[in-house]
């Protein structure tokens, strides 16, 4: 029974975080028909009893208590008000309470120094308070998941300041996972190279593992999915199963809401985070925790940049021959087009690699594919 705290910083971080909480709620709703507050849901959500004025938390107990009011274990930080106020007016306003938000008015102006040095010093105590409050609500805190961008001012500056703060103040929770959105070649912020380099140094020193994500790669993945959506569109009905694409907004809901521009790309990253933590929340025959991910993939302390790849990107509504599709999935997850940064993993040397498999996949299928793939990849 472990918990994780999500800390989202900056415009990018908060928008991704928004998608993450939306999809997390939908995933738990699909899995938890009886509306009980069990250990899976307690990983990311508190069960607050709002009858008491002091917002007492209801513990999991034996896992059969009803859900009163879910509150996310999150800290939202942004130095300008636009994004946070949109969140607080939107459908997710119920799961955040105002004590978890740290905000200012004017923003960082795409300047790492403003974010890190100026706002860091000014808001240090407030941020520490929010994090400490969230940490005290946890029985057994396992890791911090930070989400922010590298190119901007708040995300990269204040984000890395928070990372350093966590390392100093919570040394026993050594799992600090950072999902960092790196700028692509076609980027609209002029100072993003400087911001990224300054932030990169902090990430190398303070983070346990960094999962880099690149806008260009996400864009290409979304394009691929929408091409597949419209491919058979003239004659047949939509070949993709509705809601199964990793860039989709809504699993199993009928109507389509209006989508904001970066929503599809943010959904991909949100799905990545959900899948990574799925084994810590739900049970399986071979469980892997976030501890184990860090332990197995990071052979040397400073070499902790993990390339994420996901497959399949969508599932077809006509269920074609399963075994071939399954093997194709294993091939795809190593291919260039399925990585969330623009890199071809097969061209490089692998230090370590982890396959997190979710769903109805048999052990023998996995082993068969591992036998095959071991020879395609180059190891030292």
Tell me the CA end-to-end span of the chain in Å, nearest whole number: 37
Mask for 124-153, x = binds other proteins (CB under 8 A) = ---------------xx-x-----------
Which two tokens mark 220? 């290409």
Shortest gap between Cβ of 321 and other proteins (angstroms)?
16
354 binds other proteins (CB under 8 A): yes
* Contact pick of 234, 235, 283, 349 for other proteins (by CB under 8 A): 283
Could you tell me which of 96, 97, 104 has the C-alpha nearest to residue 78? 104
Distance, CA of 214 to CA of 276 (rounded, Å)? 18
Binders of other proteins in range 286-325 (CB under 8 A): 286-287, 289, 291-292, 294-301
Residue among 1 and 165 whose Cβ is closer to other proteins: 1
CB of 191 to other proteins, least distance (A): 34
Count residues binding other proteins (CB under 8 A): 34
What are the phi and psi torsion angles at 142 (to 5°)? -100, -40
Smallest gap from Cβ 312 to other proteins, in A, equals 20
Given the structure tokens 């976030």, which residue do they identify?
290
Strand partners for 177: 145, 209
Write out the two tokens for 44: 């990311």
Residue 113: CB atoms within 10 A of its CB come to: 15
* Token pair in block for residue 248: 């989709």
For position 64 contacting other proteins by CB under 8 A, the verdict is: no
Q: How far is the CB of 201 from other proteins (least distance, A)?
A: 19
Nearest to 296, CA basis, from 369, 352, 219: 352
153 near 12, Cβ under 8 Å? Answer: no
Q: Which stretch binds other proteins (CB under 8 A): 93-101, 105-113, 186-194, 351-359?
A: 351-359
Binding residues vs other proteins (CB under 8 A): 1-2, 39, 139-140, 142, 174, 283, 285-287, 289, 291-292, 294-301, 351-352, 354, 362-365, 367, 370-371, 374, 380
């Amino acid at each position: 029974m472990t918990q994780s705290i999500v800390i989202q910083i900056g415009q990018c971080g908060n928008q991704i975080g928004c998608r993450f909480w939306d999809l997390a709620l939908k995933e738990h709703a699909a899995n938890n028909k009886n509306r009980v507050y069990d250990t899976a849901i307690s990983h990311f959500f508190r069960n607050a009893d709002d009858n008491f004025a002091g917002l007492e938390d209801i513990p999991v107990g034996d896992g059969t208590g009803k859900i009163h009011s879910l509150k996310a274990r999150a800290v939202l930080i942004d130095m300008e008000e636009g994004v946070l106020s949109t969140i607080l007016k939107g459908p997710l306003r119920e799961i955040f309470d105002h004590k978890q938000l740290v905000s200012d008015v004017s923003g960082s102006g795409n300047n790492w120094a403003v974010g890190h040095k100026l706002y860091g010093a000014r808001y240090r105590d407030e941020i520490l308070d929010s994090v400490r409050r969230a940490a005290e609500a946890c029985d057994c805190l396992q890791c911090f998941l930070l989400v922010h961008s590298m190119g901007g001012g708040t995300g990269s500056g204040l984000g890395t300041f928070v990372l350093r703060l966590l390392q100093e103040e919570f040394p026993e929770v050594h799992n600090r996972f950072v999902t960092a959105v790196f700028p692509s070649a076609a980027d609209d912020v002029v100072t993003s190279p400087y911001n990224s380099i300054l932030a990169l140094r902090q990430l190398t020193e303070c983070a346990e593992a960094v999962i880099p994500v690149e806008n260009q790669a996400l864009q290409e993945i979304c394009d691929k999915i929408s091409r597949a959506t419209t491919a058979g569109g003239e004659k047949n009905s939509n070949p993709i199963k509705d809601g199964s694409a990793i860039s989709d907004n809504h699993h199993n809901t009928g109507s389509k809401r209006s989508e904001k521009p970066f929503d599809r790309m943010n959904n991909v990253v949100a799905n990545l985070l959900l899948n990574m933590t799925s084994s810590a929340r739900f049970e399986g025959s071979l469980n892997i925790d976030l501890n184990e991910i860090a332990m197995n993939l990071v052979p040397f302390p400073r070499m902790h940049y993990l390339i994420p790849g996901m497959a399949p990107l969508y599932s077809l509504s006509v269920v074609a021959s399963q075994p071939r599709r399954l093997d194709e999935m294993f091939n795809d997850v190593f291919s260039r087009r399925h990585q969330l940064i623009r890199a071809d993993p097969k061209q490089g040397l692998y230090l370590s690699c982890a396959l997190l498999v979710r769903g109805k996949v048999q052990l023998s299928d996995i082993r068969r594919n591992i036998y095959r793939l071991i020879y395609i990849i180059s190891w030292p």
